[in-house]
Structure 1
């Protein structure tokens, strides 16, 4: 399996923001921000998504935007947040987005909207 990862200098802010503009992908970024490599199945379980095909698209968007590394490992793929690259390209951006997402998740209006979407 050949996967495309942009080099650090090819990462574009509009692609990063677009990738994190989806609530599932933003949640993946939040989970990966805890550190380490995570296999796709473990993330699916945490996210409560049952169809792997649903997330295949999301992995590709995150990978091709430069937000994550994805590497094959046996029958699984391991995912890692490209924090070092993102921080070097856009200092403070990832922290600001993750802080904003946390703040939004704590407001009643955000919880109501997320419940109606899910």
Structure 2
């Protein structure tokens, strides 16, 4: 079953997700929290300056966005917020198939 995915943009949404569950993987950190209402999956992306310069941060976020676009409609849960956080020297350089596996692993652990 495919679920609609929306992008989070407000700082308050990111802070709320930070109070939820966390699962680290080799390529990223995933934070997740269940909202009170049902509805679409919401996802946000962030990379701190620790990831590198603007070019490195943008590349890492582009890769996270693509992984989320491919996997969250089928594997995310309706009514949940997810934040994908890039890791220094790992998100931008990790093979794409491994990044997909990282997100699947994190979702499985978060919803256990």
| Alignment TM-score > 0.5, same fold | no
Q: Which has the larger radius of gyration?
A: 1
TM-score (norm 1): 0.30
**Bigger proportion of residues as strand:** 2
Question: Higher relative CO (CA 8 A, sep ≥ 6), structure 1 or 2?
Answer: 2
TM-score (norm 2): 0.31
**Bigger proportion of residues as helix:** 1
